[in-house]
Amino acid sequence: METKNIAIALVKAQKEMLIAVKDSKNPFFKSNYADLNSIREACLPALNKYGIVLLQPIVHIDGKNFVKTLLLHESGESIEGLTEIVYSKANDAQAQGSGITYARRYGMQSLCNVAADDDDGNSAVGNKTQEPKIEHYQITQIETLLQGSSIDEKEKTTIERTMNGFTKDKAFKCIAYLQNSQIDRIEGGLGYSLTDVNAKVKAKLDDERA
Protein backbone atom coordinates (compact mmCIF):
# COMPACT_ATOMS: atom_id res chain seq x y z
CA MET A 1 0.00 0.00 0.00
CA GLU A 2 1.23 3.47 -0.84
CA THR A 3 1.75 6.00 1.95
CA LYS A 4 2.57 9.16 -0.02
CA ASN A 5 -0.75 10.94 0.68
CA ILE A 6 -0.82 10.16 4.41
CA ALA A 7 2.86 11.06 4.73
CA ILE A 8 2.26 14.50 3.21
CA ALA A 9 -0.81 14.99 5.43
CA LEU A 10 1.18 13.96 8.52
CA VAL A 11 3.92 16.46 7.77
CA LYS A 12 1.30 19.22 7.67
CA ALA A 13 -0.48 17.93 10.79
CA GLN A 14 2.69 17.62 12.86
CA LYS A 15 3.52 21.25 12.18
CA GLU A 16 0.30 22.16 14.01
CA MET A 17 0.39 19.60 16.83
CA LEU A 18 0.72 20.97 20.35
CA ILE A 19 2.89 19.96 23.28
CA ALA A 20 0.75 17.79 25.59
CA VAL A 21 -0.15 19.67 28.78
CA LYS A 22 1.03 17.96 31.97
CA ASP A 23 -2.21 18.56 33.88
CA SER A 24 -2.48 15.32 35.90
CA LYS A 25 -0.54 14.25 39.00
CA ASN A 26 1.22 11.00 39.82
CA PRO A 27 1.18 10.74 43.65
CA PHE A 28 3.58 7.76 43.67
CA PHE A 29 6.34 9.53 41.74
CA LYS A 30 5.24 13.02 42.95
CA SER A 31 5.26 14.42 39.42
CA ASN A 32 2.93 15.86 36.80
CA TYR A 33 2.17 14.05 33.57
CA ALA A 34 0.15 14.39 30.38
CA ASP A 35 -2.76 11.95 30.47
CA LEU A 36 -4.54 10.30 27.53
CA ASN A 37 -6.93 13.24 27.04
CA SER A 38 -3.99 15.67 26.90
CA ILE A 39 -2.31 13.58 24.20
CA ARG A 40 -5.58 13.43 22.24
CA GLU A 41 -6.04 17.20 22.51
CA ALA A 42 -2.46 17.74 21.32
CA CYS A 43 -2.73 15.68 18.14
CA LEU A 44 -6.33 14.84 17.10
CA PRO A 45 -7.42 18.32 15.88
CA ALA A 46 -4.41 18.57 13.55
CA LEU A 47 -4.81 14.97 12.34
CA ASN A 48 -8.52 15.42 11.61
CA LYS A 49 -7.90 18.76 9.88
CA TYR A 50 -5.78 16.99 7.26
CA GLY A 51 -8.07 14.01 6.76
CA ILE A 52 -6.57 11.52 9.22
CA VAL A 53 -8.60 9.53 11.74
CA LEU A 54 -6.94 7.77 14.70
CA LEU A 55 -8.22 4.32 15.76
CA GLN A 56 -6.97 2.13 18.62
CA PRO A 57 -8.43 -1.41 18.60
CA ILE A 58 -7.07 -4.15 20.86
CA VAL A 59 -5.46 -7.09 19.02
CA HIS A 60 -4.15 -10.47 20.20
CA ILE A 61 -0.82 -11.65 18.72
CA ASP A 62 1.22 -14.69 19.81
CA GLY A 63 -0.49 -14.92 23.18
CA LYS A 64 -0.11 -11.23 24.02
CA ASN A 65 -2.54 -8.31 23.89
CA PHE A 66 -1.60 -5.12 22.07
CA VAL A 67 -3.20 -1.77 21.35
CA LYS A 68 -2.93 -1.14 17.61
CA THR A 69 -2.64 2.58 16.92
CA LEU A 70 -3.88 3.16 13.38
CA LEU A 71 -3.66 6.43 11.45
CA LEU A 72 -6.13 6.12 8.57
CA HIS A 73 -6.12 8.77 5.83
CA GLU A 74 -9.17 9.70 3.73
CA SER A 75 -7.28 8.35 0.70
CA GLY A 76 -7.40 4.86 2.24
CA GLU A 77 -3.69 4.87 3.13
CA SER A 78 -2.68 4.03 6.68
CA ILE A 79 0.24 3.79 9.12
CA GLU A 80 0.07 1.69 12.28
CA GLY A 81 2.06 0.63 15.32
CA LEU A 82 1.67 -1.84 18.18
CA THR A 83 2.01 -1.22 21.93
CA GLU A 84 1.89 -4.20 24.28
CA ILE A 85 -0.68 -4.04 27.09
CA VAL A 86 1.13 -4.63 30.41
CA TYR A 87 -0.62 -5.02 33.77
CA SER A 88 0.31 -6.43 37.16
CA LYS A 89 -2.78 -8.58 37.90
CA ALA A 90 -4.31 -10.86 35.26
CA ASN A 91 -7.81 -10.96 36.81
CA ASP A 92 -8.01 -7.36 38.01
CA ALA A 93 -10.23 -5.22 35.77
CA GLN A 94 -8.79 -1.97 37.17
CA ALA A 95 -5.21 -3.09 36.49
CA GLN A 96 -6.15 -4.17 32.97
CA GLY A 97 -7.93 -0.87 32.33
CA SER A 98 -4.84 1.02 33.49
CA GLY A 99 -2.67 -1.10 31.18
CA ILE A 100 -4.94 -0.40 28.20
CA THR A 101 -4.96 3.34 28.91
CA TYR A 102 -1.17 3.36 29.23
CA ALA A 103 -0.76 1.47 25.93
CA ARG A 104 -3.24 3.77 24.14
CA ARG A 105 -1.45 6.88 25.36
CA TYR A 106 2.02 5.65 24.56
CA GLY A 107 0.95 4.25 21.19
CA MET A 108 -0.64 7.57 20.22
CA GLN A 109 2.26 9.60 21.62
CA SER A 110 4.83 7.47 19.79
CA LEU A 111 3.13 7.30 16.39
CA CYS A 112 2.31 11.04 16.38
CA ASN A 113 5.64 11.98 18.02
CA VAL A 114 3.95 14.15 20.65
CA ALA A 115 6.19 15.28 23.52
CA ALA A 116 5.04 14.45 27.07
CA ASP A 117 6.40 13.14 30.36
CA ASP A 118 5.74 9.67 31.80
CA ASP A 119 2.43 9.16 33.64
CA ASP A 120 0.83 6.78 36.12
CA GLY A 121 1.37 3.82 33.80
CA ASN A 122 3.47 2.37 36.63
CA SER A 123 0.16 1.20 38.11
CA ALA A 124 -0.12 -1.16 35.16
CA VAL A 125 3.16 -2.85 36.08
CA GLY A 126 2.82 -2.97 39.85
CA ASN A 127 4.20 0.51 40.76
CA LYS A 128 7.77 -0.53 40.04
CA THR A 129 10.27 2.25 39.42
CA GLN A 130 12.44 0.13 37.11
CA GLU A 131 11.49 0.80 33.50
CA PRO A 132 10.86 -2.15 31.16
CA LYS A 133 13.66 -2.96 28.72
CA ILE A 134 13.47 -2.76 24.95
CA GLU A 135 11.47 -5.60 23.34
CA HIS A 136 12.84 -7.84 20.58
CA TYR A 137 10.21 -6.64 18.09
CA GLN A 138 11.29 -3.04 18.80
CA ILE A 139 14.92 -3.90 18.02
CA THR A 140 13.80 -5.47 14.74
CA GLN A 141 11.72 -2.42 13.85
CA ILE A 142 14.58 -0.02 14.62
CA GLU A 143 17.02 -2.10 12.54
CA THR A 144 14.60 -2.04 9.60
CA LEU A 145 13.88 1.69 9.87
CA LEU A 146 17.61 2.46 10.01
CA GLN A 147 18.07 0.91 6.56
CA GLY A 148 15.97 3.62 4.89
CA SER A 149 16.48 6.49 7.31
CA SER A 150 17.69 9.92 6.21
CA ILE A 151 19.73 10.50 9.39
CA ASP A 152 23.50 10.65 9.05
CA GLU A 153 25.74 7.59 9.38
CA LYS A 154 27.25 8.70 12.70
CA GLU A 155 23.81 8.87 14.29
CA LYS A 156 22.85 5.51 12.79
CA THR A 157 25.98 3.93 14.27
CA THR A 158 25.24 5.41 17.70
CA ILE A 159 21.71 3.98 17.67
CA GLU A 160 22.95 0.56 16.50
CA ARG A 161 25.55 0.41 19.29
CA THR A 162 23.30 1.57 22.12
CA MET A 163 19.77 0.36 21.32
CA ASN A 164 20.13 -2.95 23.20
CA GLY A 165 20.37 -0.88 26.39
CA PHE A 166 17.27 1.22 25.61
CA THR A 167 14.24 1.20 27.86
CA LYS A 168 10.95 0.36 26.18
CA ASP A 169 9.97 4.03 26.35
CA LYS A 170 13.22 5.19 24.74
CA ALA A 171 12.75 2.56 22.02
CA PHE A 172 9.27 3.94 21.22
CA LYS A 173 10.72 7.46 20.94
CA CYS A 174 13.55 6.22 18.70
CA ILE A 175 11.04 4.44 16.43
CA ALA A 176 8.92 7.60 16.17
CA TYR A 177 12.02 9.65 15.34
CA LEU A 178 13.09 7.21 12.60
CA GLN A 179 9.53 7.05 11.22
CA ASN A 180 9.59 10.84 10.86
CA SER A 181 12.84 10.61 8.91
CA GLN A 182 11.08 8.12 6.62
CA ILE A 183 8.19 10.57 6.10
CA ASP A 184 10.67 13.29 5.09
CA ARG A 185 12.21 10.95 2.51
CA ILE A 186 8.80 9.89 1.14
CA GLU A 187 7.68 13.51 0.74
CA GLY A 188 10.88 14.13 -1.21
CA GLY A 189 10.36 11.04 -3.38
CA LEU A 190 13.03 8.99 -1.58
CA GLY A 191 13.08 5.90 0.61
CA TYR A 192 10.40 3.23 0.87
CA SER A 193 6.95 3.35 2.49
CA LEU A 194 6.29 2.76 6.19
CA THR A 195 3.91 -0.03 5.16
CA ASP A 196 6.92 -1.72 3.56
CA VAL A 197 8.84 -1.23 6.80
CA ASN A 198 6.09 -2.94 8.80
CA ALA A 199 5.99 -5.78 6.26
CA LYS A 200 9.77 -6.24 6.51
CA VAL A 201 9.59 -6.33 10.32
CA LYS A 202 6.75 -8.89 10.29
CA ALA A 203 8.58 -11.08 7.75
CA LYS A 204 11.78 -11.04 9.81
CA LEU A 205 9.94 -11.93 13.03
CA ASP A 206 8.04 -14.72 11.22
CA ASP A 207 11.32 -16.15 9.92
CA GLU A 208 12.81 -16.14 13.44
CA ARG A 209 9.79 -18.00 14.83
CA ALA A 210 9.88 -20.65 12.06
Q: Does residue 51 share a domain with residue 139?
A: no
Q: Does residue 73 share a domain with residue 165?
A: no
7, with CB counted inside 10 A (0-12, 13-18, 19+), is buried
Which of 130, 157, 178 lies at the terminal end of a domain, its last residue?
130
- pTM, whole model, 2 decimals? 0.51
For 133, which DSSP code? B
Range of the domain at 31: 1-130
pLDDT over threshold 80, residue 64: yes
Q: Does residue 181 share a domain with residue 121?
A: no
Q: Does residue 197 share a domain with residue 137?
A: yes
Q: Does residue 126 share a domain with residue 73?
A: yes
Which of 130, 145, 180 lies at the terminal end of a domain, its last residue?
130
Total structural domains in the chain? 2
Which of 97, 130, 163 lies at the terminal end of a domain, its last residue?
130
pLDDT tens digit sequence for 188-205: 444 445 555 556 556 665
Q: Does residue 136 share a domain with residue 161?
A: yes
pLDDT over threshold 90, residue 76: yes
Q: Does residue 168 share a domain with residue 69?
A: no
199, with CB counted inside 10 A (0-12, 13-18, 19+), is middle
pLDDT tens digit sequence for 7-47: 999 999 988 887 664 544 444 334 454 677 888 888 899 99
- Pairwise pLDDT comparison (161 vs 18), residue with the higher score: 161
